[in-house]
Amino acid sequence: MFKNVKVLFPCLIVLILLLLVLDIQAGYASIPWNELLSSLFAHGDETTRFLIVELRLPRVLASLLIGIGLSLSGCVLQGVSHNEMTEPGLLGINAGAGLMMALYLLLFQNQSPHFSFLLPLLAFAGAGLTFWIEYKLASNKKKLHPNRLLLMGVAISMAITSLTTILMLKMPDQQYAFVQSWIAGNIWGASWTSVLFLTVSMAVIFGLIAYKSRILNALALQEEVSIGIGVNVFKESRLFFVLAIILASLCASIGGGLSFVGLVCPHLARRIVGPNYKKLVPASVLIGGVLLLVADIGSRTLFLPYEMPIGIVATVIGAPYFLYLLMKN
């Protein structure tokens, strides 16, 4: 465990700032440092400035925010469920978002002029509806059963994935390729509007979770202990589950089916700073931001001039650690 948190957090922040700059530069059209600085301060070439300000910068910031959101969501879910192997994807969030998006594309084939605005909303709605069904099936008599919720999530996720595959087989090639790329994890529709919306939403949720970090610490204990110290376990667990699912749904609506981020980052943060959520929450979000920025840089530079879905790179990074956890436990 890393005891000097006052050194760790500034180092992670500096690393994120460095990765932000490298991510903006990365891609088929590499941007030198001098052109990057000139464009950011409105003195550069118009074409380069448009590439940076309107295309790359929103995507890079969206990657950072999605890494933060998924890590925070996984951190909360692992604490409330008492299961360090929990992550948003296990609850069917990605599957629900993908099904709703596939259904829309099959019916309308992106003919709507508001396609880029509707798709994230539909993905968010699909993810939220999936969790609502799981929650209703997993809770009874004012008691939420986290393990039952996880099992429901796995089962429903498998069923939804199968249904999505059936819908994809009926799609034209263009829509099929789009859905396949989204499921693999792809930063799609990143704009300044979506970045602003993600920033405000995540700031509110992060503030609420940080404010309730003491309760989250209590919920991470055995249920009898939590009740004994005066915590309303059902009410607080439900609140944290809902906040975590909203975060994951927001991320899925823009970033697609990203896996392992919500699993690996909180677990790694726990090994570094310990189980206290006052330190664990900020450590998780910073590590999540680092991971997604590294994955985004890799997705746009490893196979130039082609671009890989960011989810594939994130999985390559996260899967070995996941296997390590399985072997250890």
Which domains, ranges and CATH numbers included, belong to the chain? 5-328 (1.10.3470.10)
Residue 29: Cβ within 10 Å count: 12
pLDDT at 174 (0 to 100): 81
pLDDT at 69 (0 to 100): 93
Q: Mean per-residue pLDDT for 50-79? A: 88
Share of the chain above pLDDT 90, in %: 15
- Can you tell me the distance from the alpha carbon of 265 to that of 325, in angstroms, rounded to the nearest whole number? 13
Kindly report, residue by residue over 182-236, the tens digit of the pLDDT: 888 888 767 888 889 889 989 999 899 888 888 888 877 776 677 777 777 778 8
Angle (CA) 91 308 75, round 5°: 30
Kindly report, residue by residue over 303-322, the tens digit of the pLDDT: 877 788 888 888 888 878 77
Residue 56: Cβ within 10 Å count: 21
Q: Mean per-residue pLDDT for 9-26? A: 89
Share of the chain above pLDDT 70, in %: 88
Q: Tokens representing 187?
A: 């930063």
- Can you tell me the distance from the alpha carbon of 263 to that of 284, in angstroms, rounded to the nearest whole number? 10
pLDDT at 299 (0 to 100): 87
Q: Taking Cα atoms as reference points, which of 287, 292, 243, 238 lies closest to residue 266? A: 287
Q: Which of 35-44, 81-90, 135-144 has the highest mean pLDDT?
A: 81-90
Percent helix / strand / coil, the chain, rounded to 5: 80, 0, 20
pLDDT at 82 (0 to 100): 79
Please provide the distance, in angstroms rounded to a whole number, between the alpha carbons at the two ends of the chain. Answer: 19
Kindly report, residue by residue over 47-61, the tens digit of the pLDDT: 777 777 788 889 999
Q: Mean per-residue pLDDT for 104-126? A: 74
- What value does the mean pLDDT of the chain take? 82
